[in-house]
Every structure is written in C-alpha cells, then in structure tokens.
Amino acid sequence: MKISLIFNPFSYKLHEENLRIVQRYFGLFPPLSLTWVAAIAEKAGHEVEIIDARTLRLTPQQVIASLKQSKPDIVGCMMTTYMFRETLKWIQYIKETLPKVKVMVGGYNLRVYPKESVMPEEIDFGCYNSAYYTVPGLLAALENNTSFDDVPGLIFKRNGSVIQTDYGEDPDFDNYPNPARHLLPNELYAEFPTERKNFTVMVTSKGCPRGCLFCEAGQTRYNPRSVKRVVDEIQECYDIHGIREIDIFDYEFLINRRRVLEICKEIQRRKIDILWACRARIDSVDDELLREMAAAGCGRIYYGIESGDQEMLDRLNKGITLEQIRESIWLTRKHGIRSLGFFLIGSPGETYQTINKTLKFANSLKLDYVQFSKTTAKPLTQLWRDLVRDTSYDYWREYILGNTEEKVLPRPWTEFSNDEIDELARRAYIKYHSRPGFLLRHSLQVRSWSEFKRKFLAYLEMVFNQEKISTADPSFKCYGEDKGKLKWYKKASKWSAPF
C-alpha cells in the first residue's frame, strides 16, 4: 500500500507554555514520530512518503497537488493536543478534495483522549499507543479486507460507535527500526543554538522514572534502546544523511549512567565527529561522566532547574537542591560543555520574591542559555489532574471536542494573573540576555553568520516587541520605560522587581 504522512504547519496557541517569540525562534525540528511510523510501515513492505509541509512552507493546495501525484491509499497525521484543531482542518481539506482516501491519526493526543480524537467524521482510524503493532496490522487489514477487531491499539468507528482494541504490552524500544530520515529534507532543520549542519533530533529512550509535578513523562514506562542501537543510529545519521549535530530529546538521557558511559566510549571508539546535546537532571551528572561526554562530542546539556528558591523546587517535586545545581553547572562548564537552564514562571506558590531569587540564581550560574516558560497544566501531568479535580472541568477535552474557544488555562496555584506571568517571563529573558558580559561572551562564541543572525534577531524582537502587561490588578503598576527596561512595583509588599 501507499502511505503519505503529512506534518502540517501550526501557529502559536494561547494555552502554550512558551512565549510567542520563543516559540517562533526555537527551531525547525524533524517530525520524528512520523519517521518512525514510516520506518515501521516500510519494514512491513509498504511504500511511504513524508510531506513536511511545515518546514517546506507548503500550502494545503500544494500538499493536495502532491497527493494527487502520489495517489496514496491512506494519509497519516500526527495529532498533538495543542495543535489538534489545526491538524483537523488539514484533514478536513484533504477529505473534501480526496474523499476516497483513508485517514489515520496518531500522536500524543490519542494517549490522553483516544476516542474523542477520532470522533470527527473525516478521521477513519486512530493509533492510540505505539505504531509498532498498530500500523502494520491496520495496513494488512486494509490490504486483505479483513476485520479491524484484531488490529492491536486501533480506534475506529462502526455503526455509529467508537471501537478501541486492546494493545497489549509495549514493545521493546530496541526493536524499533531507525527513523526514516531518508524521507526528510535534513538540510533544512535547525534549533536556536545549532552550530553545525545538517541537524537532527534523536530519542534513545521513552518515559522517565521521575515524578515532577509539571511533566507528563512519568506516565510512560522507562524504555531505553541499547548502546549498539543508539550508536548505530548516530553512525547512520553521519554516514548516510550528512548529519553533524544531533539533539537527543530524551526526557532524561543520563538516567542510566553506565549506559551513557558506554555510548560515549563507543562514539569515541568509532571516531564519529558529531556534536550533540541532551536533556538531563541536575543530580545525574558527575565529573567522570561529563569528561566522557565532552570527549564524545557533547556540546550542550539542557538542565531542568525550574527555580532558584528551594521551597519552590520542593513543591514541584524536583528532588534537587540549589547546591546540587551550582555544583553540576560548575562541573559542566569545567569540561567545556555549554549549559542551558529551563526555568518556570508561575509555579505553585510563586511570588515576586521567588521570581527575584530565580533571576539572581540564574545570573550567578553563568548559564550559556536560559528558557523561561510559563507553568502550565499540560495533559497527563499532576498539575492537570489536580486542576480537573478541583474545577470539575477539563479544558483540553472540551477544546479538542470543539466545545470551547482557545484560551489561556487558569493558574489558581499562584497570585499572578496570566497576563502578569506572560510579561514576567518575557522580562526575565530580557534581563538575563541584556547583560553586557553575556552579550560579549556569546558574540565571541558564534561560529557562523547564520547563527549570529538567528540569535541577534530573536534578541531584538524580544526587547522591542513589548506588549503591555494587564493592569487589572490595581496594586500592580508599570512606570514607563528606561532605556528599554521596565520597573515594576508591587505596592502591597513594597518590593521592586529587578527588571
């Protein structure tokens, strides 16, 4: 059978945790989930194409023209909760133009709301878990005109009812084929700190055994790929796709210290000249591990720091201390690895004082990059569960069902309004990146004109795109601008924020 997998463009959403400007410059990433679906389908003997309409900036009309040429039997799309409605509009347009083509969907949203996701009449099939068993089973059933009841992990409609089949046990992640990157425009991908081309992303493990309040990763069993499979994929990226930089998107790449050491040693043994980044917990690194990572080409580590206030860290169930953070960032810098710190604004119990502590703490760490996000009750997180329980209302479910307009979720766990959190996060970015020492150091580290232009334009837009904060709270006032910096005062506490 012929399968066309489409990755549609999407716009910024009011309920996102990142600022609009951050989302715009964060990067263009390959649709890795679709490349796994493609690889699984190819392994089963089917013909597959991926149309990355977002990266290629294709219109719906251009995608339809391509589909008319390739004549697929089935079209597949990835449905996230945030982008559900936009993807559905693309599916509806495809069905209007090509009514005979079957449509299957998969992705994160089907884990949260499996049956709701396939209720639109334009969607024929849903894959609510891994594609490993479902996609080959569905394609075989379509090809042989057999029952869908025996396809594991499938959702479909029959006689007005939504049917969901059992999935069984998750497959060993090591058995997955490597993503089908040969179907992608690998030369076009990049993220904000990218230094080399071509660039791609990897996932070497599923899930995370930790239980942070704001993260959904703990809902998935930790399932890593073996050292050999990981390095073989890196080798394939380097030799076949011309990739020279990889961002490892695991929730926590370093959770298994021995595995990471072996991966690093194998990269060195094979002499693969690859620059790579990863995400890690503060308490996962040590001197020996960082030394081996640096020798194997690790150039950046993205740390989940979240706050500079110990009480806030405890409320978020981080299980780390401020002293551990200082020590780990110092060790990272010692081994020549750049560090990015993820911080949250608007967490449970957040106040001006805790934000002030976070900014001062971030400055003291001498991080190479920072990201200030707005604490949001994302689907499957404990924050989301608590919000649904306390309000008896599930915004995300109503959103994908089309029963509510797109809006910012409430944050009843903090005294700040949503507008205030948005502005405080933006001001935190400006304050951190406007320090003369930081600007000089980063200018000297830039390795290409494209890298400089990307970072400089993002900085300018962040500084000059100054949307005024809401003044609905009469105790929260803005006193004009002074050389691009705003001074904010909270009368009740007589405290002045440091930006």
| CATH classification at residue 231 | 3.20.20.70
Element (H, E) at 162: strand 161-164
Q: What are the CA-CA distances from residue 8 to residues 31, 38, 58, 86, 222 (Å)?
A: 10, 16, 8, 8, 29
- Tens of pLDDT along the chain (499 residues) come to 999 999 999 887 778 777 665 666 567 899 999 999 999 999 999 999 999 999 999 999 999 999 999 999 999 999 999 899 999 999 999 999 999 999 999 998 999 999 999 999 999 999 999 999 999 999 999 999 999 999 999 999 999 899 999 998 889 999 999 999 999 999 999 988 888 999 999 999 998 888 888 888 767 788 999 999 999 999 999 999 999 999 999 999 999 999 999 999 999 999 999 999 999 999 999 999 999 999 999 999 999 999 999 999 999 999 999 999 999 999 999 999 999 999 999 999 999 999 999 999 999 999 998 889 999 999 989 999 999 999 999 999 999 999 999 888 889 998 888 888 888 888 887 777 776 666 656 555 666 666 565 555 555 555 556 443 333 333 323 222 333 333 332 332 232 332 2
How many folded domains does the chain comprise? 2
The reply to whether 203 and 343 lie within a common domain is yes
Report if residue 307 sits inside a domain.
yes
The reply to whether 304 and 446 lie within a common domain is yes
The reply to whether 265 and 344 lie within a common domain is yes
Report if residue 44 sits inside a domain.
yes
Report if residue 118 sits inside a domain.
yes
SS3 content of the chain, % helix, strand, coil (to 5): 45, 20, 40
Strand, helix or coil at 283? helix
The reply to whether 330 and 417 lie within a common domain is yes
Report if residue 248 sits inside a domain.
yes
What do you get for the CA distance between the two ends of the chain, in Å? 59
Report if residue 265 sits inside a domain.
yes
Note down the domain range covering 228. Answer: 185-375+411-470
The reply to whether 206 and 300 lie within a common domain is yes
User: The sheet that has 369-374: what strands, in order across it?
Assistant: 199-202, 245-248, 275-280, 298-306, 338-345, 369-374
Strand ranges, E, within 232-364? 245-248, 275-280, 298-306, 338-345
Give residue 294's identity as a one-letter amino acid code: A
Beta-ladder partners of 203: none
Under a CB-based contact definition with an 8 Å cutoff, are residues 374 and 424 in contact?
no
The reply to whether 7 and 88 lie within a common domain is yes
Report if residue 493 sits inside a domain.
no
